[in-house]
With several copies, the nearest count.
Chain A
Amino acid sequence: MSRDMYRQRILDHYRDPQNYGTIDDPDVTYEDVNPSCGDEIQMYAVVDENDEIQDVKFDGQGCAISQASASLLTEEVKGMTLDEVRQLETDDIKEMLGIELSPVRVKCAVLGLKVLEGGIVEYEKEN
């Protein structure tokens, strides 16, 4: 039953996402869409001299799963190094969410991570 997916925690993050908004002049920024459904996410992060994430925000639109995942992700990655973020995988996202997901919804769940990692790749290219 996918109804189980919609736990209170997920719905809270969907309705009231953490770290939602933009950062002026971010070190890391990137956006992408999930072509199969149109969900869009943009990520912004500020990185210190040790490559640690000082601040991170996201905006965009999409389903409860993609928005809640992005929200949970931003909470998780604050204080992590860029390297640590790049180690994160689909399974880590699933764990943060704590729910079962069908293959289609996994794509929603990892969109935020994909975008953040895309931003890190760009950032590292430039620095």
Chain B
Amino acid sequence: MSVEKASPYNVDEVRDDFPVLNRTVDGEKLVYLDNAATSQKPQSVIDAVSEFYEEYNANVHRGLHTLSQEASEAYENAHDRVAEFIGADGRENVVFTSNTTEGVNAVAFGWGMHHVDEGDNIVLTQMEHHSSLVPWQQVAQANDAELRFLKVDEGVVEEGEVEEKIDEDTAAVSVVHMSNVFGTVTPVKDIIDRAHEHGARVLVDGAQSVPHMPVDVGEMNADFFVTSGHKMCGPTGSGVLYGKTEAFHETQPYQYGGEMIKLVEYEEATWTDLPWRFEAGTPNIAQGIGLAAAVDYLEDLGMEKIHEHEREVTRHALEMMEDDDEVTVYGPSSDHENRGGVISFNVSDAHAHDTSELLSDEGVATRSGHHCAQPLMREMGVPATTRASFYLYNTYEEAEALVEGIETVKEVFA
């Protein structure tokens, strides 16, 4: 067993970096397994934010005074840091947002509304998060376009769907990179190649991938890519919208105002350079700087190692859960190679909310509901699932605590 429970880094030391992990909940040690919703933050990120406020808080871009110059440099360099981390060419391809949702809206409204025409189709998967589904519904409705969905089975895009659904009328493709319901990874490379053959642009929703595995948007050849900083050890209010230069040049701003303009007259205005054109108003400055600190933290540990660690801890939990007849696990089985650190399940005839509530009693934090994927849940024929999602600091013991917690649920609903 001890060999099995190995980790590529010292998890106990890592846990010491995250102050909240010392918390108790109703007398029980906190077991935080709600990482797909938002991750915890290491002290270095918390400190980067506080230091900004305590030492050089100022507005950016325009200031000639010292604080503003320091703040601008830190904020602009944070774009370089993120660009490097995700494999973007440079800062002009990296826009800071509040979250993934804002990035998808910026693409749907800034690009989609102007490039998806009547009779075109937009291809998504059946397991999109509401954030990458609902904005495209708006585009389809406004421009009389068709929405098409790649069928998924247990979180895996079905054979032949890509070839069948993406065709010469496809204008846009928007696909989740790693499912927040199943932890499965979409074959984005194949999808992008196919879409590009037909002249379509592709947005990849990397909310769950970037925090958990090495990602290179350049190699993937995505046109647009979005992710959430707050799910990858960064502050709330941090997120990223990546765009290829040529894709960004096709994109209208989604927000208008200060900082994104070049020349303004009373009747009209022109826009400044990339990426600032897409960041209107005072940006989330401390959050962008905090995100860069999060990237430093992740790179220090190493994304490959993080991925490996999570996969092993998840597999440990999955194997135990698969052995239990009263537990239904959704998604591919524990030996599937493409399985990230997310487990969606239900326990006997307990409703998912009751399961989460009872698990919380044991200190185990999970999430229950439709996971912002209502149509998928209907497709799966369940009203809700409980989701345990792991991160770099979760341990084998915590996986076991989850399984023990499930025993309590079974007892109550026996």
Contact between chain A and chain B defined by CB under 8 Å: yes
B374 part of interface (Cβ distance < 8 Å): yes
Bound: A102/B25 CA distance, A: 15
Chain A 30-54, CB within 8 Å of chain B: the 1/0 string? 0001011111100000000000000
Bound: A40/B374 CA distance, A: 13
Q: B351 contacts which of A1, A64, A103 (Cβ < 8 Å)?
A: A64
A79 part of interface (Cβ distance < 8 Å): no
Bound: A113/B370 CA distance, A: 23
Which residues of B are found within 8 Å of A2, using beta-carbon distances? 357-358, 360-361
Is A104 in contact with B64, judged by CB distance below 8 angstroms?
yes
Interface residues on B, range: 20 to 34
Is A38 in contact with B370, judged by CB distance below 8 angstroms?
yes
Bound: A54/B69 CA distance, A: 39
B interface, over-half SS: mixed
Bound: A39/B377 CA distance, A: 13
Closest to A32 in B: B262
Is B261 in contact with A35, judged by CB distance below 8 angstroms?
yes
Known: A1-B361, A3-B358, A103-B69. Contact between A37 and B62, CB under 8 A?
yes
Task: Report the number of A-B residue pairs with Cβ-Cβ less than 8 Å.
Answer: 70
Is A6 in contact with B358, judged by CB distance below 8 angstroms?
yes
Bound: A14/B408 CA distance, A: 18
Bound: A61/B262 CA distance, A: 16
Q: B62 contacts which of A14, A36, A40 (Cβ < 8 Å)?
A: A36
Bound: A33/B262 CA distance, A: 8
Interface residues of B in 19-48 (CB under 8 A from A): 26
Known: A15-B349, A62-B351. Contact between A35 and B384, CB under 8 A?
no
Known: A61-B383, A104-B69. Contact between A3 and B412, CB under 8 A?
yes
Is B357 in contact with A105, judged by CB distance below 8 angstroms?
yes
Q: List 20 A-B contacts (CB under 8 A).
A: A3-B358, A6-B354, A11-B413, A35-B262, A36-B61, A36-B62, A36-B369, A37-B62, A37-B353, A37-B369, A39-B383, A62-B353, A63-B357, A64-B350, A64-B351, A65-B353, A65-B354, A67-B351, A102-B69, A104-B64
Question: 8 shortest A-B CB distances, which residue pairs?
Answer: A63-B353, A35-B272, A63-B351, A35-B262, A61-B383, A2-B357, A64-B354, A38-B370
